[in-house]
């Protein structure tokens, strides 16, 4: 299983932030996690609220730990709220089950990490994450 290099993680973050500026989104925060859910790189734009690291990380962390992207987590939370609440307990309160936690897959479909974006609406957060991941030639799973 290949890990994302720091160079690629940086490019993902830059492109995600550039997409946000281009679309006129609010200030974004973007994290890249490795295949074990550990932080590889993070940036928070000027004007974003101070607590955004935790939200970005929580979106990406749940995606890695469950192997399930943010949209699927949200669907599960809407069907069975107590299940996602319990999962959150298991993972120490570090899971934010909404869109914006996006899995990064290579050409063979292997998970290489996850990107978490927060700052605008969840759907806009996804747009920024996807732009970043596609810019480095990898495949996003929203």
Contacting residues toward a copy of itself, per CB under 8 A? 1-3, 5-6, 9-10, 34-46, 48-51, 53-55, 57-58, 64-68, 77-78, 80-98
d(CA 86, CA 25): 33
Residue with tokens 């298991």: 90
Nearer CB in complex with a copy of itself: 39/135: 39
Nearer CB in complex with a copy of itself: 119/140: 119
SS3 73: helix
In the complex, least distance from residue 16 CB atom to a copy of itself, rounded to whole angstroms: 13
In the complex, least distance from residue 131 CB atom to a copy of itself, rounded to whole angstroms: 18
* Angle at which helices 70-79 and 81-90 cross, to 10°: 120
In the complex, least distance from residue 104 CB atom to a copy of itself, rounded to whole angstroms: 14
Question: Would you tell me how many other CB atoms lie within 10 Å of the CB of residue 75?
Answer: 12
């Amino acid at each position: 299983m290949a890990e994302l290099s720091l160079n690629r993680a940086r490019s993902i973050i830059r492109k995600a932030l550039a997409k946000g500026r281009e679309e006129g989104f609010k200030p974004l925060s973007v994290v890249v996690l490795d295949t074990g859910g550990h932080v590889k790189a993070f940036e928070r734009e000027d004007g974003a609220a101070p607590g955004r690291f935790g939200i970005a990380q929580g979106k990406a962390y749940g995606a890695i730990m469950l192997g399930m992207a943010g949209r699927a987590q949200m669907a599960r939370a809407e069907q069975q709220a107590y299940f996602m609440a319990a999962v959150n307990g298991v993972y120490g309160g570090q899971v934010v089950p909404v869109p914006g936690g996006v899995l990064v897959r290579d050409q063979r479909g292997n998970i290489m990490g996850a990107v978490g974006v927060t700052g605008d609406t969840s759907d806009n957060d996804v747009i920024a994450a996807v732009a970043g991941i596609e810019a480095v030639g990898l495949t996003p799973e929203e």
